[in-house]
Chain A
C-alpha cells in the first residue's frame, strides 16, 4: 500500500471517529436538552405595536427565569425558550408557529402563545391538527370557551364578551344597581375590525336585558383621526363611553374626547385600551380615564417582590425600562407565564415529571385550578383572579378590575374583581360554538372526559 493510500485511510478513519464522537456528544446533549421544557415565544419587538409587546415578554421571561433560578424549574424541569418575531402580522405569526411546532432538541411544544388576535384565529384549526394548545389570554375567539368544539383553543381568564359585560356591570355599580342601567346610553367606540366588533353581540344582548341604549361607533384603522366619531358622541350625549381601541387609537380617542368636552372619567377603556402605553401619550387630559383589565397594574404584589429580589436586582431581567416593572403589560406577561407554568405543573402531576407535550398540556389546562390558596402560594393574590378550567369552560375567570389613571399611574377603583354575567352569556357562546361546529363538520367532544 502506498504511503498516499495509507494517509488517506488514516485520515478517513480519523474523520469517521470524529463524526461518531460528535454524534455521540450531540445525542447526549440532545438527551440533556430533552430534560428541559421548551416554550417558543411569538414576539413583536419591532413594528407598529412593539411598544405594547416589549413589556409583555419582559414579564413572561422574568417569571420563567424566576422559576428556573429560584425553584429550579417546574419540579426540576428547567424552562428554555426562544423568540420568533411576528411583527404582529398574521403570515409571520403562522410561519413562526410552523417553524417551532416540532419542538427543539427533543423537547416538545406544550403551549403556543400567539400574541395577536388575528394570528390566533388563523391558527385555530392548525392547532387542533398538531395537538398544540393556543393560550390566548384576553383575546382570541370568544366561542372557543366551549372546549368541546375548540379542544385546543384557550381564551383563558377574560374573553371580550366578559370584558363588555364587566364594563356594563361596573357602570351599574356606579349607577347604584343593575336596575339603574335602564334608560342609560352606553356608546361603544370600537376599532373597526373583527376584534373591535367582537363585543357587539353581547352588548346588544345586555342592552335588551337591562334596558340601556347600545350605541356603536366604528373607528377605522389605525384611528389617528377621530374628530367625526367624537362629534357624533357630542351629538348623541351618551352617559358612558366604552372604548375598545388598539395602538394609537386609544390616546387619540382620549385627546379627541377632551377636545369635544366629553368627560374622560366616563370613558372605560377595554383590555387593549388600558395600559400605560395607551394613556401616557394623551398627556394631562388622560387624568381620570378608566380601563377594565384582567391585568391590574402594580409592583406591590408578593410575586413582584420575589421577581425584584431574584431577577431584577441580580441584573437578570429582560426589562429594558425599569419604569415598566409592574405596568399593565408587564403584569400581563407575568400572568401569562403563571398560567402556562401551572398548566405544565398540573399535567406533570398526571403524566409524570418530564417535559410535557401539547396533548398533555391540553389536559393540564383543562384541569387547571388556580385557587385562592394556590395563588397565595405563588404570590399572585390580587394580580391573577382565581381560575378553574374545564373542557366546557376554557375561560374560567371572566372578571376584571377597573383602573383609573391619575396622571402618573393606575389605581384600582373597582370593588375588587368586577364579575361578568357569564351565566347570561354562556348559552349564547355555546350556541355560536355549536354553529361553528356545524359549519366545519366538527363533532363536539364529550365534556365528561
Chain B
C-alpha cells in the first residue's frame, strides 16, 4: 500500500510541474483566445537567459530581474510584429503565427546563448524526506508550493485588479471591450509579459530538474493533455488537470506498463484527455462557449 501511495504522491507532485507550464498557455488563451504554441520556447528562452547571466557571475535576483525584462521585451515584440498585424484574422492564423514565433525564439536563443547544456542550481535540496512512511521529494514540495503561490497571485491579478478585469472583458467580448476604450494592444503586451514571467518560473524549476537545454521545449507535450482536462481558460483547471495527468501517468506506468510490456506514460495522458473531451469538451473548469443562434 505504501508503494501505491508513494507512486501516487510522486505522480501528483510531477503533475504540478506540468501545471506550471500549462498556466502559461491558459493566460494567453484566456486573454486572446490564442493557443500560444511558443510557450515551450518561452520556457527555454527564460531559463537559458537566466542561466547564461548566472554563468557570467550575475547575482541570482538581478539575473531573474534581467530575464524578466527580456521576457517582457519579447512579449512587446511579439505583440508589435506578429499579433497586431493579425488582429481580426481567424484563430488558426494566430495559432500558426505562434508556431512561427516558437521556431524564431528557439533559433535565436541558441544562436545568442549557445546550445550547451547548463546546470541550474537553485539551492533547493533534492533529497527525499519521509512523511508518514512515504518518501517525498523536497524539491517537488517546493515546486508545488511555488505553483500554489502562483495560482493565488494570478487569481488576485485576474479578479481584483483593473488590468485583470480588463483582460477578462477582452476575453469575453473583444468588440465590446474595445468600444469602451480598453486598449487591446497594451493588454496583449501585459498578458504575454505575465506569460513570460510564468515561463521564467517554470523554466527555473524544470531547468533545475533536468538541466537547461533544448529539451525544455518538450515539456509542453505534457501540458497539452493538462489543458484539455482542466480547460483552456482556467488556472485552477491547469492545476487540477496537472494533478490528474501526473497521478494517472505514474500509476499507469507502474500498473499498466508492466502488463503491456512497455512504457505507457507517453500516450496514457492523451487517452485520459480524449476521454475528458468526450464527456466534458470544455474541460473540467473551462468555459463552454455560448453562442446566440
User: Taking beta carbons and an 8 Å cutoff, which residues of A are in contact with B?
Assistant: 45-51, 54, 192, 218-222, 224-225, 227-229, 231-232, 234-235, 247-248, 251-252, 255, 258-261, 277, 280-285, 320-321
Is A231 a contact of B266 with CB atoms below 8 Å? no
- Minimum CB–CB distance from A230 to chain B (whole Å) comes to 8
Contacts of B215 in A (CB 8 A): 48, 222, 224, 247-248
CA distance A258 to B135 in the complex (A): 12
B176 within 8 A of A: no
Tell whether A321 pairs with B263 under 8 Å between CB atoms, given A228-B253, A231-B10, A281-B212. no
Q: How many Å lie between the Cα of A232 and that of B217 in the bound state?
A: 27
Tell me, yes or no, whether B41 is within 8 Å of chain A by CB. Answer: no
Cross-chain contact B119 with A260 (CB below 8 angstroms): no
A49 to B249, CA, bound (A): 26
Q: How far is the CB of B36 from chain A (nearest CB, A)?
A: 20
Whether A261 pairs with B128 at a CB distance below 8 angstroms is yes
Q: Is B263 touching A280 in the complex (CB atoms < 8 A)?
A: no
Point out the residues of chain B lying under 8 angstroms from A251, CB to CB: 117, 210-211
Enumerate chain B residues within 8 angstroms of A284, measured Cβ to Cβ: 121
Q: Are A220 and B263 in contact (CB under 8 A)?
A: yes
Pick from A51, A218, A261: contact of B117, CB below 8 A: A51
Interchain CB contact under 8 A, A248 and B211: yes
CB of A255 within 8 A of CB of B262, answer no
Contact pattern, B 1-36, Cβ under 8 Å of A = 1, otherwise 0: 001001100110110010000000000000000000
Number of A-B residue pairs at CB separation under 8 A: 124
Contacts of B222 in A (CB 8 A): 225
B115–A192 CB distance below 8 A: no
Structural contact, B219 and A228, CB atoms closer than 8 A: no
Known: A45-B115, A231-B3, A231-B6. A259 touches B211 (CB 8 A): no
Query: In angstroms, how far is the closest chain B Cβ from the Cβ of A67?
Result: 27
- In the complex, what distance in Å separates the CA atom of A238 from the CA atom of B121? 29
The yes or no answer to B285 lying at the interface (CB within 8 A) is no
Q: Are B214 and A48 in contact (CB under 8 A)?
A: yes
Checking A218, A281, A282, A283 against B213 with a beta-carbon cut-off of 8 angstroms, the contacting residue is: A281
> A255: which of B110, B126, B213 is its contact (CB, 8 Å)?
B126
Residue-wise interface mask of B (210-228) relative to A, using a CB-CB cutoff of 8 A (1 in contact, 0 not)? 1111110111001000000
Given contacts A51-B214, A220-B263, contact A280 B117 (CB under 8 A): yes
B114-139 vs A: 1/0 string, CB under 8 Å? 11111111000011100000010101
Given A224-B215, A228-B7, A251-B211, verify A260-B118 contact (CB < 8 Å): no
Q: Provide the residues of chain B in CB contact with A221, threshold 8 Å.
A: 266
Within the complex, which residue of A235, A255, A260, A321 is in contact with B209, where a contact is CB–CB below 8 Å?
A: A255
Q: By the criterion CB–CB under 8 Å, are B139 and A227 in contact?
A: no
- In whole angstroms, how far apart are the Cα atoms of A251 and B217 in the complex? 16
Instruction: Give Cα A127–Cα B212 distance, bound, in whole angstroms.
Output: 37
Q: Are B206 and A50 in contact (CB under 8 A)?
A: no
Contact B254 A231 (CB under 8 A): yes
A259-B126, A283-B121 known, 16 other contacts, Cβ within 8 Å: A48-B213, A50-B214, A220-B265, A224-B219, A225-B249, A227-B250, A228-B253, A231-B254, A232-B254, A255-B210, A259-B127, A259-B139, A259-B140, A260-B128, A280-B211, A282-B119
Given the complex of chains A and B, what is the CA–CA distance between A280 and B210 in angstroms?
10
How near does chain A come to B243, taking the closest CB pair, in angstroms?
14
Q: How far is the CA of A50 from the CA of B111 in the complex (A)?
A: 12
Interface presence of B145 (CB below 8 A): no
B219, A218: Cβ atoms closer than 8 Å = no
Given the interface contacts A50-B110, A51-B116, does A281 sit within 8 Å of B211 by beta carbon?
yes
In the assembled complex, the CB of B198 is this many whole angstroms from the nearest CB of chain A, namely 18
Q: How far is the CA of A229 from the CA of B263 in the complex (A)?
A: 9
B125 to nearest A CB, angstroms? 10
Partner of B119 from the list A54, A235, A283 (CB cut-off 8 Å) is A283
Q: Is B174 an interface residue (CB 8 A)?
A: no
Shortest distance from the beta carbon of B212 to any chain A beta carbon, whole Å: 7
Partner of A47, one of B116, B119, B128, B214: B214
What are 28 pairs between A and B in contact, CB < 8 Å? A48-B214, A48-B215, A48-B218, A218-B257, A220-B264, A220-B266, A221-B266, A222-B218, A224-B206, A225-B249, A227-B250, A228-B11, A228-B265, A231-B250, A234-B135, A247-B213, A248-B211, A252-B210, A255-B126, A255-B209, A258-B126, A260-B128, A260-B135, A261-B135, A277-B116, A281-B117, A281-B118, A281-B212
